[in-house]
Amino acid sequence: MYANGMSMIISRVLNVPLGTVFTWIKRYGKRKYEKLVDLWSKARDVVGEMWTYLKRNKEAFYK
Protein backbone atom coordinates (compact mmCIF):
# COMPACT_ATOMS: atom_id res chain seq x y z
CA MET A 1 0.00 0.00 0.00
CA TYR A 2 1.04 3.56 -0.55
CA ALA A 3 1.90 5.83 2.32
CA ASN A 4 -0.49 8.67 3.03
CA GLY A 5 1.99 11.24 1.73
CA MET A 6 2.39 9.37 -1.55
CA SER A 7 -1.40 9.27 -1.96
CA MET A 8 -1.56 13.04 -1.44
CA ILE A 9 1.11 13.60 -4.09
CA ILE A 10 -0.73 11.34 -6.56
CA SER A 11 -3.92 13.27 -5.81
CA ARG A 12 -2.22 16.61 -6.51
CA VAL A 13 -0.46 15.48 -9.68
CA LEU A 14 -3.55 13.90 -11.22
CA ASN A 15 -5.83 16.65 -9.87
CA VAL A 16 -8.33 14.20 -8.38
CA PRO A 17 -9.80 14.05 -4.86
CA LEU A 18 -7.80 12.17 -2.25
CA GLY A 19 -10.72 9.79 -1.66
CA THR A 20 -10.54 8.73 -5.30
CA VAL A 21 -6.88 7.82 -4.92
CA PHE A 22 -7.70 5.77 -1.81
CA THR A 23 -10.43 3.98 -3.77
CA TRP A 24 -8.01 3.16 -6.59
CA ILE A 25 -5.44 1.82 -4.16
CA LYS A 26 -8.06 -0.25 -2.37
CA ARG A 27 -9.51 -1.65 -5.60
CA TYR A 28 -6.41 -2.28 -7.69
CA GLY A 29 -3.87 -2.84 -4.93
CA LYS A 30 -5.81 -5.84 -3.69
CA ARG A 31 -5.56 -7.57 -7.06
CA LYS A 32 -1.80 -7.19 -7.11
CA TYR A 33 -1.62 -8.50 -3.55
CA GLU A 34 -3.73 -11.54 -4.48
CA LYS A 35 -1.51 -12.19 -7.50
CA LEU A 36 1.58 -11.95 -5.28
CA VAL A 37 0.05 -14.45 -2.84
CA ASP A 38 -0.66 -16.85 -5.72
CA LEU A 39 2.89 -16.55 -7.04
CA TRP A 40 4.35 -17.05 -3.57
CA SER A 41 2.27 -20.18 -2.98
CA LYS A 42 3.40 -21.60 -6.34
CA ALA A 43 7.03 -20.85 -5.50
CA ARG A 44 6.61 -22.46 -2.07
CA ASP A 45 5.19 -25.61 -3.66
CA VAL A 46 8.05 -25.82 -6.18
CA VAL A 47 10.67 -25.37 -3.46
CA GLY A 48 8.94 -28.02 -1.36
CA GLU A 49 9.04 -30.47 -4.26
CA MET A 50 12.71 -29.71 -4.85
CA TRP A 51 13.61 -30.40 -1.20
CA THR A 52 11.62 -33.64 -1.26
CA TYR A 53 13.43 -34.74 -4.43
CA LEU A 54 16.84 -33.85 -3.00
CA LYS A 55 16.14 -35.63 0.27
CA ARG A 56 15.00 -38.82 -1.47
CA ASN A 57 18.02 -38.84 -3.77
CA LYS A 58 20.41 -38.16 -0.90
CA GLU A 59 18.97 -41.06 1.09
CA ALA A 60 19.24 -43.36 -1.94
CA PHE A 61 22.81 -42.23 -2.67
CA TYR A 62 24.12 -42.71 0.88
CA LYS A 63 22.56 -46.17 1.48
List, for residues 7-55, the tens digit of each pLDDT value.
788 888 888 888 888 888 777 777 776 776 777 788 888 888 888 888 8
Q: How far apart are CA 43 and CA 34, in angstroms?
A: 14
19-55 burial code (b ≥16 CB/10 A, e <16): eebbeeeeeeeeeeeeeeeeeeeeeeeeeeeeeeeee
Question: How far lies 58's CA from each of 9, 20, 54, 63, in Å?
Answer: 55, 56, 6, 9
Question: How far lies 43's CA from each of 12, 35, 52, in Å?
Answer: 39, 12, 14
Q: Look at residue 2 and tell me whether its pLDDT is greater than 60.
A: no
More confident residue, 45 or 59: 45
